[in-house]
Chains A and B, each alone.
Chain A
Amino acid sequence: MALTRQDVAKVGLLARLALSGDDVDRMTGELSKIVGFVSQLEELDTNNVAPLAHPLDTQNVFRADEPKPSLTTAEALQSAPRHDGSCFLVPAVLGESGAA
């Protein structure tokens, strides 16, 4: 299965990546190879195979609703590129959140 340049440009947009024209050309080829590799699976007849929701044959793993210690704010923020001591700082985001 071959991806088009439009497919790659759209995925780039969704991933918030600024792709140049050269990037799109290169990735159209590379991503097509990956998709092509995976699509070999389509050669298998899966008509009589139940869909698999999870590779592990395990179900119903729960924890009790009991509080555990959280990180300190300093620990939480320590790997952030930018912060003000209490919040993560990111470039201005205006408008609504993507979903809830």
Chain B
Amino acid sequence: MSKQPATAASDPYITVIGLEVHVQLQTQTKLFCGCSTRFGSPPNTQVCPTCLGLPGSLPVMNRLAFDLAVRAALALNCKIAPFTKWDRKNYFYPDLPKGYQISQYDLPFSSDGHLEVIDPKGAFSRKVDIIRVHLEEDAGKSMHDEAAGTADTRIDLNRAGTPLCEIVSQPDLRSPQEARGWLNELKLLLVYLGVSDCNMQEGSLRVDANVNLHIPLPGEGGAEGRIAKTPIVEIKNMNSFRSVERALIYEAARQWEEWQATKVEMGKMPKQTRGWDDPAGITRPQRQKEESSDYRYFPEPDLVPVTVSDAEIATARAAMGDPPTVLRAALAEKWKISAYDADVLVNQGRDLVAWYEDLATRVGEGKVASNWMQQDVLRTLNERGGTIAEFPVTPEQVADIIGRVQKGDFDTSRGREIFAEVLTSGKAVADVVASMGIAAVSDDDLVALCQELLAANPKIVADVKGGKEQAAAGLIGQAKKKNPNANPGKVRQMCLDLIKALP
């Protein structure tokens, strides 16, 4: 099967993608009870009668969960409903102790939003409409050890009742690459706003994708052509954004092959669910999805409705902080850096942006600070791992090094060596400069050095005199050998000045 990116200009079809994203909200406790939501605790240590669904227990809504959900919806440009309620979604599964999930059906707390993604390299730009965002509880975890061959499935209910925001997009995405880019933007936004840590490894962010193909068919006998649509497939079980992209690429190609073989269109067969098998790199059919009506939704009698006033929405909006899109533009304008540079910095999170702004303020030049951030700080951070808060070098130290470079004490490559040494030794910049034998070369020393070079290189002197200024480059290498601390730029300028002064 071909594995080219779907919806390349040459593809005879358009790939149509909609995403359904579940994010775990950053609360300490569950949606309807005071049990901790901490990840990784021993099984069934964070459970109580409410989240176990024991008789006589009653749910009470977590205020912070609702507020975080509203914040997410506002950031996604959604309308907040003045009146919202919860419903029971009924199905039987061992990880769902009550036999129903408390979710939202016909009156979600928000709807009709959008989130735009612009690829900083200009590959795509797409505004994706959001159908709805609603607040619901998570199920528990089923564990089945097939290798052990035991007949039992083990159930851990620590996760049962954890607050989730479900975000449903319109099928507005047009390529797997766009889908991945959009998910990156969504994740960045939710992390920035403190809504969720969006950690996919811990299941804090889960993605299902709906995909089908729109195939333009030529008309027959002069009639206008039409668009054939392949049956929609929902893909589950994708554990990273990279997997989402790969699964969509695979699935588009698979649907194209199936279409060519069968010509089956949407509506001629029920919507199919397929699971992504990451190691095999393929999607496999899963059980047919139950129809919506089979969940037999009805209003949750144990929870009262929630109303939200305009004043409350205004307060939530004010407390939200700048989303990444606003921050990118602000950073680019304030520090005179490119949109690409601003994107790189903002994508690393709020703490790194603060670190950058501290550095840029000390240095006084945004572009220089941005270069050092990307080439030295970020690269080192990526190699070492960890967060910017744990980074052993401070903005003050980097600004000190940059300041010495700007003063001409040494050049940028020397500055990089000093940065590396400060990083590994933990010493102060001044001590590193001293211990590396890097001393500022005095003007007298510089003049002496240059005169020595000119005397030893009559050919270069003659060439420069004859108008070939670039010949002076030959002197700089020699100067480095004689005195590694000599600033190449200064050496060049001094030599040129001295040659011009010659009779």
Contact = CB atoms under 8 A, between A and B. Distances in A.
B306 A90 contact: no
B185 interface: no
- Identify which of A16, A65, A77, A99 gathers the most chain B CB atoms within 10 Å of its CB: A65
A98 B91 contact: yes
Interface stretch (B4-12, B37-45, B255-263, B396-404): B37-45
Nearest to B101: A99
B28 A65 contact: yes
Which of B44, B45, B107, B304 gathers the greatest number of chain A CB atoms within 10 Å? B44
Given A61-B60, A87-B44, A54 B92 contact: no
Question: Which of the four size classes fits the interface of chain A?
Answer: 35 or more
A89 B155 CA distance: 6
A15 interface: yes
Contacts of B61: 61-63
Contacts of A64: 63-64
Contacts of A98: 91-93, 96, 290
A58 B60 CA distance: 13
B60 A63 contact: yes
Contact of B93 (A58, A61, A88, A93): A93
A97 B95 contact: yes
B318 interface: no
B60 A92 contact: no
A66 B144 contact: no
A96 B142 CA distance: 10
A91 B153 contact: yes
B91 A99 contact: yes
A8 B304 CA distance: 32
B92 A87 contact: no
Nearest to B142: A93
A87 B154 contact: yes
Given A88-B155, A99-B101, A100-B22, A53 B94 contact: no
B305 A87 contact: no
B43 A87 contact: yes
Interface in B46-68: 46-49, 52, 54, 60-66
Contacts of B290: 14, 98
B16 interface: no
B44 A53 contact: no
B448 interface: no
A21 interface: no
B206 A100 contact: yes
B144 A54 contact: no
A90 B151 CA distance: 9
Nearest to B155: A88
Given A53-B299, A65-B64, A59 B306 contact: yes
A56 interface: yes
Nearest to B290: A98
Interface in B113-154: 138-139, 142-144, 150-154
Interface string B318-361: 00000000000000000000000000000000000000000000
B137 to A, nearest CB: 10
B487 interface: no
Given A68-B34, A70-B45, A96 B287 contact: yes
Nearest to A82: B152
From B42, B150, B153, name the one whose CB has the most chain A CB atoms within 10 angstroms.
B153
Contact of B65 (A65, A84, A90, A99): A65
20 contacts: A14-B90, A59-B307, A63-B60, A63-B62, A65-B64, A65-B65, A68-B33, A68-B48, A70-B46, A70-B48, A71-B49, A72-B45, A73-B43, A73-B45, A88-B154, A90-B152, A91-B151, A95-B286, A99-B101, A100-B164
**Nearest 4 interchain pairs by C-beta:** A68-B34, A87-B154, A65-B64, A62-B63
Interface of A: 14-16, 53-56, 58-73, 76-77, 79, 82, 84, 86-100
Interface of B: 22, 27-29, 33-36, 42-49, 52, 54, 60-66, 83, 85, 89-96, 101, 107, 138-139, 142-144, 150-157, 164, 166, 206, 236-237, 273, 275, 286-287, 290, 294-296, 299, 301, 303-307
Given A61-B304, A73-B45, 7 more contacts: A60-B306, A66-B28, A73-B44, A84-B152, A87-B154, A89-B153, A100-B139
